[in-house]
Structure 1
Amino acid sequence: MKTFGGSVLYLDRSDINTDEIIPAKYLTEITKEDLKPYILEDLKLPGFDPKGAKTREARVIVSRANFGCGSSREHAPWVFEVNDITAVVAESFARIFRQNMFNCGMAAIELPKEKIDLLFSYAGYPDTTMAVDVAGQTVTVRGGGKEETISFAISPFDKALVLAGGWVDYADTKY
């Protein structure tokens, strides 16, 4: 079974769009793997380096509201997939982006603002990690000698998609 979680990349902004996740100029690439070096290339945040170690080591992204807005391109979740990012935790997601995450076997977890703020309180600890238990519907953040577990909701169908590894694997088991 796939492991969800690991090092956390904090992107402290709302409305991060799909063109910032993977710029449109790379949509002509032939394979998902070809997208890998361009993850978050056009995202502008103070102190953020898309080529830096924090981005390369990230397995979970924590962000604010309306994550994945803009174009409905499936390439945005694909670039996370090929960079081993297994979960995005945000206040809300653009509907199509969220479903594309589930369809690709990745977790898109919505939490209320106060819980996102709590997760951001761990951003300053260099040892921060997050474990995501999709089956148990919890995220556990650890860092700075502290730990917090938060429950989240996910529909039974979307949970089944994620646990199966995505739509194709789910369909193979059901049809």
Structure 2
Amino acid sequence: MDKFEKLTGVAAPLPLINVDTDMLIPKQFLKTIKRTGLGVNLFDEMRYDDDRNEIPDFVLNKPAYRNAEILVSGDNFGCGSSREHAPWALLDFGIRCVIATSFADIFYNNCFKNGILPIALPQEQVDILMKDAEKGENARMTVDLDAQTITTSDGEVFTFDVDPFRRHCLMNGLDDIGLTLEKAAAIESFEATMQTQRPWV
């Protein structure tokens, strides 16, 4: 998992509430167990018409937001069924941070496990960030996980809270496997001791 320390990039505005996981990645794309290749199908039913042509008005199809790394959206982001493919699709598209007023619990937890930083802020702050995102590709936001701040293109700064353990994991690029491998020496020592003490096991 890639480390997340400080991100400066284009923020795409998606002023919708209750963006569910089926909107993020429709069910027909859940057959794969690979974490890559799903970015093209992110928001599939909103991005493409029935003939698979891009819908020009959808935000991520607009030239200014094709390389967006931050998504600013509405309340209850990531609700619906618990599919880990949703953060996989966001990450594969290039989104590393989602800002909203609230998140569904399972989606929120899955984000941290896949290298995405979900930030919950009060509505009035999200409104300001949404307006900043609407300025397009020349208005870049900076998300600093170490300082726990978001800086708008105009220099306005907002602070956010994040669990210290999750912050540590993101900043060091540690998913569940990475956390286990941090203890590799202790695990190997334990196994060596057990092999000596209980060779029949």
Contact 1:39-1:50 at 8 Å conserved across structures: no
Contact 1:19-1:70 at 8 Å conserved across structures: yes
TM-score, normalised to structure 1's length?
0.88
4+ residue runs of structure 1 moved beyond 6 angstroms?
none
Segments of 5+ residues of structure 1 without an aligned counterpart are none
SS in 2 for 1:33: coil
1:172 to 181, 188, 196: 181
Task: Give the structure with the higher percent helix.
Answer: 2
2:25 to 16, 22, 27: 22
2:89: which partner in 1? Answer: 79
Moved more, 34-43 or 75-84: 34-43
1:117: which partner in 2? Answer: 127
2:165: which partner in 1? Answer: 157
SS in 1 for 2:150: strand
Q: Displacement of 1:161 after TM fit?
A: 2.1
Distance across 1 between alignment mates of 2:178 and 2:99:
23
| Count, aligned residues | 172
In structure 2, give the amino acid aligned to 1:83: F
Q: State the identity %.
A: 34
TM-score, normalised to structure 2's length?
0.78
2:78 to 65, 68, 82: 68
Summarize the Cα distance change of 1:118–1:98 in structure 2 as closer, same or farther, 3 Å threshold: same
Task: Give the structure with the higher percent strand.
Answer: 1
Matched, 1:131 2:142: yes
Moved more, 162-171 or 93-102: 162-171
1:6: which partner in 2? Answer: 9
Q: Displacement of 1:38 after TM fit?
A: 0.4
